[in-house]
């Protein structure tokens, strides 16, 4: 069912090329859309009808599911749009999130500057040039930070140029870039019989199994049974011989 039925579009009216909104950016899209539709800004039906042309992906699917019994005016559509995508404003980048950004290992300084600037453009109220320079410089690590803080760059583009020169200096070996520390091997001190010590790498301990020898507690007492029987037999023979 069409959201705006019986809409009349004049033949001379040319539809502008809109920046497509997919639902993942800030909802300043409304202001951009109204600027594009300035020629018919007072025609609510046209505003509502062509709004679908400025949407894509999930946002376009959302528009197609709207109920025309509840969305009757441009104001209703605006309120529904803001309610649907207000979370983008709540999670929009701010000064704190900008200061927590950092350059990735395999990312060039220009790629990082572009990524950082895209986030900075969404901050409200907008950042001043001097503030952008300070916030961006604070996210840099060695060797960029030390060299950037020694410059007098006042524009964001100037600090990017300085960082690119530092990047070239690192690649050519003229500027030292600290490397990441690797984990160290734990060493073990082995005591030798002569009293000296020997340092070496830790090796897994090995256990030598020895057969368990019987102890004195486990030995049963020796009983000379055979000798005892011989003694008794000799005594009996003697008695028999005596009284016979």
Residue 201 host element (H or E): strand 197-201
Specify whether the CB–CB gap between 147 and 108 falls below 8 A.
no
The residue with tokens 């300035």 is 38
Specify whether the CB–CB gap between 82 and 75 falls below 8 A.
no
Whole-angstrom distance, CA of residue 45 vs CA of residue 51: 10
> In this structure, what DSSP letter does residue 188 have?
E
What's the pLDDT score for residue 197? 53
What's the pLDDT score for residue 29? 86
Q: Tell whether 82 and 41 lie within a shared domain.
A: yes
Indicate whether 219 belongs to any domain: no
Indicate whether 197 belongs to any domain: no
Maximum C-alpha span of the chain: 159
Indicate whether 191 belongs to any domain: no
Specify whether the CB–CB gap between 2 and 71 falls below 8 A.
no
Indicate whether 121 belongs to any domain: yes
Cα–Cα separations (whole angstroms), residue 48 to 6, 61, 68: 12, 15, 11
Tally of domains within the chain = 2
Indicate whether 38 belongs to any domain: yes
Cα–Cα separations (whole angstroms), residue 124 to 64, 134, 198: 31, 17, 65
What's the pLDDT score for residue 233? 59
What's the pLDDT score for residue 13? 77
Q: Which of 74, 90, 106 is the last residue of a domain?
A: 90
Whole-angstrom distance, CA of residue 165 vs CA of residue 168: 5
Cα–Cα separations (whole angstroms), residue 115 to 33, 98, 119, 157: 25, 10, 7, 14
Q: Tell whether 100 and 60 lie within a shared domain.
A: no
Q: Which of 42, 73, 90 is the last residue of a domain?
A: 90
Indicate whether 115 belongs to any domain: yes
Q: Tell whether 166 and 100 lie within a shared domain.
A: yes
Q: Tell whether 38 and 99 lie within a shared domain.
A: no
Residue-by-residue pLDDT tens, the chain, 244 positions: 578 887 887 777 777 788 888 887 666 788 889 888 888 888 999 999 999 999 999 999 999 999 989 999 999 999 999 899 888 777 778 899 899 999 998 999 999 999 999 889 888 888 999 999 999 999 999 999 988 888 888 899 999 999 999 999 999 998 888 876 655 555 555 555 555 555 555 555 555 555 555 555 555 555 555 554 555 555 555 555 555 5
CA 3 to chain CA mean position, Å:
42
| Beta-bridge partner residues of 67 | none
101 is in which domain, residue-wise?
A: 95-172
User: Cα torsion at 78, 36, 113, 104 (round to 10°)?
Assistant: 50
Q: Tell whether 104 and 150 lie within a shared domain.
A: yes
Q: Tell whether 74 and 131 lie within a shared domain.
A: no
Question: Hey, CA dihedral for 191, 193, 196, 202, is it positive or negative?
Answer: negative
CA 234 to chain CA mean position, Å:
98
Q: Tell whether 60 and 85 lie within a shared domain.
A: yes
Indicate whether 112 belongs to any domain: yes
User: Exposed, middle or buried by CB within 10 Å (0-12, 13-18, 19+), for 98?
Assistant: buried
Indicate whether 165 belongs to any domain: yes
What's the pLDDT score for residue 223? 54
Q: Which of 123, 143, 172 is the last residue of a domain?
A: 172
What's the pLDDT score for residue 209? 56
Whole-angstrom distance, CA of residue 157 vs CA of residue 160: 5
Q: Tokens standing for 16?
A: 């502008």
Q: Tell whether 120 and 57 lie within a shared domain.
A: no
Give start and end residues of each alpha helix (H) in 37-72: 44-50, 57-64
What's the pLDDT score for residue 229? 54
């Amino acid at each position: 069912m069409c959201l705006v039925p019986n809409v009349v579009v004049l033949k001379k009216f040319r539809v502008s090329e809109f920046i497509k909104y997919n639902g993942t950016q800030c909802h300043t899209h409304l202001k951009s859309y109204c600027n594009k539709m300035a020629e018919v800004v007072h025609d609510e039906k046209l505003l509502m009808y062509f709004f679908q042309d400025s949407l894509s992906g999930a946002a376009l699917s959302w528009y197609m599911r709207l109920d025309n019994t509840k969305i009757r005016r441009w104001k209703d559509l605006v309120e529904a749009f803001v309610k649907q995508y207000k979370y983008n404003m709540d999670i929009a980048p701010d000064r704190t999130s900008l200061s927590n950004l950092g350059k990735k290992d395999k990312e060039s300084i220009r790629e990082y500057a572009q990524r950082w600037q895209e986030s900075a453009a969404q901050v409200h109220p907008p950042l001043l040039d001097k503030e952008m320079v300070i916030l961006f410089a604070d996210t840099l690590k060695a060797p960029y930070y030390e060299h950037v803080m020694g410059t007098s760059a006042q524009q964001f583009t100037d600090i990017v140029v300085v960082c690119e020169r530092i990047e070239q200096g690192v690649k050519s070996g003229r500027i030292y870039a600290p490397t990441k520390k690797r984990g160290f091997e734990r060493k073990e001190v082995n005591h030798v019989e002569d009293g000296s010590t020997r340092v070496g790498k830790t090796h897994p301990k090995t256990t030598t199994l020895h057969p368990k020898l019987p102890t004195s507690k486990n030995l049963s007492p020796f009983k000379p049974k055979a000798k005892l029987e011989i003694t008794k037999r000799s005594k009996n023979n003697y008695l028999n011989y005596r009284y016979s």
